[in-house]
Amino acid sequence: MLSPQFRFDPYAAAVDADPFPFYKTLRDDFPCFWSADAKMWVLSRYDDIVRALNDWQTYSSAKGNLMDELPNRAGATLGTTDPPRHDRLRGLIQHAFNKRNLDYIESHIREAARDALAGFADKKSFDFVEDFSSKVTVKVLFRLLGLPPGDDHIVRDKAVLMVQSDPVTRQKGPEHIAAFEWVKNYAEKVIAERRANPGEDLISQFSLAEIDGDRLSEREVLLTTTTLIMAGIESLGGFMTMFALNLADHAEARRRCVDNPALLTDAIEESLRYNTSAQRFRRCLVKDTELHGQVMRAGEFVCLAYGSGNRDERRFANPDVYDIDRKPKGHLGFGGGVHACLGTAIARLATKLAFEELHKAIPDYRRVEETLPWMPSTTFRSPLRLELARA
Amino acid sequence: MAKIIYVEHEGIEHEVDVPDGWTVMQGAVTNGVPGIEAECGGSCSCGTCHVYVEGEQASLLPPPEDTENAMLDMVAAEVKPTSRLACQIKVTDALDGLIVRMPASQG
């Protein structure tokens, strides 16, 4: 179908800032859209995305899942393999992320939040990203993965940089690749250290694990560990920041959460639906597939726009309203299917506890800047800085 | 397509038409049926989609494989002879009418 008027360019700053009007046009007029800018198909309706997520035999992850893939990563991580290999890899890691195994980390999350709050106790305004979400996220992740303290600040900066793309050259720039290489080298050192002195931690177990009697390949161990660091830090931090933005912009919802912290659970789920930081991931077609009158060919890439599916009025009533009473079952904020986010339980737990602590110290806050500096990324969406003022 | 009847621990029933090739877990999660968490997304590695299967169709299910049995050892609620992981039950037309009951807790 020719659509000369409409473009969907995930590299455009306008899409970083506000993808939702583009998504609406995609859903209504071009539900199976060839984006010449992204060089891939874009699926934007909830039902189509869910069908693709549940059909890995057609929509494969083995050629990468990030919109702009990092070099030599595809095929060696959880997000970039298909079953049955994926399931065996996930089986080695999942236990560390299961809800029932996370009790031990609750006190660490609260402590990390209180430490961060102490750092700006006397300031009238603060950058939620720099002063709070980054610090909490890095401490929680370092604890979860058993990483040695000390390098946390630089690890965080590199993890955030590696998920970005250059909006001008429309690909990963040298600084993004360098950040990826830096985190990879960091992971390599941690793995070597753990193999020399193995402990009970996840990386020790994973780096020595076998599947069906075969050791994992070095590439699998290294890139999976690198991805855990990247996803853990960038995705959790990005989501917390989006949640803060929503509560800053919706004072009534925030007040209710402050008065009754149990409501944070529902507010978090609605935030995952309303504007999840994980906006778009991709798959690669294994076979020719027809959808909405279009024929997509084997070998072509397909963008699954979770952020659009979450606003699909065919699935959610009044989708553009942030409504903490909605309880949005089946939202795509963590993706879905076998590749549904590994860190759902830790993300929900860390966000809830961090905001409980934040609200004890700062119950009222508002956004300072009308226009936010959005991260240039084709996959993720969150502001690089979020100035909040105590109200 | 098969109609799967999900019964919450408290007795609330949900009838869902689940497409062929999907799993019983996918049918529940996609349609917002409470009581199945499926933290691992269906990779047979978390034990949070534990169900008890009932109805005459239950006898049609292939027996659990080793990985499913290993995860059933780790579920939070009581394991019974009818215990299965919903992510490992592939839906076919023959399963039309299958009843799956939720345990008291997934963990």
| Nearest-neighbour CA in chain B from A93: distance (Å) | 9
Render A334-358 in DSSP notation, one character per residue. TB-GGGS-TTHHHHHHHHHHHHHHH
Q: What is the pLDDT of residue A215?
A: 77
Residue B87, both tokens? 């992510």
Give me the domain span that covers residue B14.
2-101
Domain annotation covers residue B76: yes
* Pairwise CB contact (< 8 Å): B31 & A330: yes
* Pairwise CB contact (< 8 Å): B39 & A83: no
Q: Domains in chain B: how many in total?
A: 1
The residues, any chain, with a CB within 8 Å of residue A51's CB and separated by 6 or more, are none
pTM of the predicted structure, to 2 decimals: 0.93
Domain annotation covers residue B107: no
Q: What is the pLDDT of residue A242?
A: 98
* Pairwise CB contact (< 8 Å): A330 & B30: yes
Residue A385, both tokens? 């800085």
* Pairwise CB contact (< 8 Å): B107 & A95: no
Which residues of chain A make contact with B32, given a CB cutoff of 8 A? Answer: 329-330
Query: Nearest Cβ partner of B45 from A87, A329, A341?
Result: A87
Collect all residues from B whose CB is shorter than 8 A from any CB in A: 21-22, 26, 29-32, 34, 37-48, 67, 76, 107
| Nearest-neighbour CA in chain A from B19: distance (Å) | 10
CATH number, residue B43: 3.10.20.30
Domain annotation covers residue B91: yes
Domain annotation covers residue B47: yes
Collect all residues from A whose CB is shorter than 8 A from any CB in B: 50, 54-55, 83, 86-87, 90-91, 94-95, 97-100, 329-330, 336-342, 344-345
Q: What is the pLDDT of residue B55?
A: 87
Q: What is the pLDDT of residue A213?
A: 77
Give how far Cα A53 sits from Cα of A208, A285, A304, B18, B87, Å: 31, 12, 8, 15, 14
Q: What is the pLDDT of residue A188?
A: 96
CB-defined contacts A:B, below 8 A: 64
Nearest chain A residue (CA) to B35: A329
Q: Helices A236-249 and A264-275 meet at what angle, rounded to 10?
A: 100
Question: If you ran DSSP here, which 8-state letter would residue A73 be given?
Answer: T
Q: Chain centroid to CA B61: how far?
A: 11
Give the residue-averaged pLDDT of B68-91: 94
Which residues of chain B make contact with A95, given a CB cutoff of 8 A? Answer: 45-46
Residue B11, both tokens? 């007795």
Per the CB < 8 A criterion, the answer to whether B61 and B83 are in contact is no
What is the sign, positive or negative, of the torsion defined by CA atoms of A169, A245, A372, A179?
negative
| ipTM for the predicted complex | 0.85
Nearest chain A residue (CA) to B43: A87
* Amino acid identity, position B55: G
What is the sign, positive or negative, of the torsion defined by CA atoms of A40, A24, A165, A75?
negative
Residue A379, both tokens? 């996959």
Domain annotation covers residue B56: yes
Q: Chain B interface, mutation test: which of A55, A56, A87, most B Cβ atoms within 10 Å?
A: A87
pLDDT by residue, tens only, chain A of 391 residues? 555 689 999 999 999 999 999 999 999 999 999 999 999 999 999 999 999 999 999 999 999 999 999 999 999 999 999 999 898 889 889 888 988 889 999 999 999 999 999 999 999 999 999 999 999 999 999 999 989 888 888 999 999 999 999 988 888 999 999 999 999 999 999 999 999 999 888 898 888 888 777 778 899 999 999 999 998 899 999 999 999 999 999 999 999 999 999 999 999 999 999 999 999 999 999 999 999 999 999 999 999 999 999 999 999 999 999 999 999 988 999 999 999 999 999 999 999 999 999 999 999 999 999 999 999 999 999 999 999 999 8
To the nearest 10°, the Cα dihedral for A236, B37, A378, A63?
A: 120
Query: Nearest Cβ partner of A98 from B32, B39, B41?
Result: B39
CB atoms within 10 A of CB B22: 20
Domain annotation covers residue B61: yes
Domain annotation covers residue B106: no
